[in-house]
Amino acid sequence: MRWIFLLAVICGILSAGFWIVHQMDQTILITDYWKSTGKSEWGLVDFRGKDPELYTFESYSGLWPIFKGLWPVWTLFFLLFLVLIPLSFLIYNGLNNMQIASAKNDVALIEIEMEEAEKRANKRIMEAEKKVNSAYEEQRKRAHAELESETQNLHHLKNELLQRETAIKKREIAAQKAQERAAQDVSEVQRLYADELQRFETEITGMARARDNAQAGYQRLKNKKKC
């Protein structure tokens, strides 16, 4: 499809070229004119005044003669083409070079600003890291001090508990020994009580016998006196 479109464009250009050449063959280029002093086959007539005036002219007909007759025009265009295009490229390149140089300067300034910003950021990061490390170290020291204090308190409490436990064990042992001594004392008291009770009962029995004997003797004595 694109090749067909290209052929159509080429055919159109060629047709336009043939048409222009054909039209140029019928065209006359007048390069100069002056008042006629005699008769001529062709001339120009000026009807602006009351009486028409005839002018003789110099002309070119045909494509190639007209092209040669217009040499100042196409020479001017050619020179302009030769001068303006390099000058335009030169100006364009100069502007581009200026823009590139300005862009490079901007890039260099931006890079410098970025480096300074990066340095400031690194400095701030280092300061922040120092502050964080300092705070962490202070917190660690504080936590270590609190841990040591708690450890000492725990050791103190442990020692107190051990002392209390030892005292309680000593008290338990002393109480157990006291209980054993009390039990021994109670057994001894019970034994002494039993011995004393037996001795007392023996004495009471003896005293009762003595009383009975005394009463019997008294009764015998009394009976003797009555007799």
User: What pLDDT, on a 0 to 100 scale, did the predictor assign at position 159?
Assistant: 86
Supply the pLDDT for residue 23.
61
pLDDT for the residue 110: 85
25 vs 13: CA distance, rounded Å: 18
- Of the candidates 39, 57, 55, the one whose C-alpha atom is nearest the C-alpha of residue 47 is 55
Q: Which two tokens stand for residue 197?
A: 């009770």
- Where along the chain do its domains lie? 16-69
Question: Cβ distance 55 to 93 under 8 Å?
Answer: no
Q: So what's the pLDDT on residue 58?
A: 65
Show the 3-state SS of 7-41: HHHHHHHHHHHHHHHHHHHCCEEEEEEEECCCCCC
pLDDT for 26: 62
Q: Tens-of-pLDDT digits for all 227 residues of the chain?
A: 667 767 787 788 778 766 666 665 566 666 666 777 766 666 667 677 777 777 766 666 666 777 677 777 778 878 877 877 777 777 777 777 777 888 788 888 888 888 888 888 888 888 888 887 887 788 778 878 888 888 888 888 888 888 888 888 888 888 888 888 888 888 888 888 788 888 888 888 888 787 777 777 777 777 776 66
Predicted confidence at residue 108, as pLDDT, reads 83
Tally of CA atoms within 13 A in the half-sphere of 10 that contains its CB: 6
Closest CA to 56 of 43, 41, 67: 43
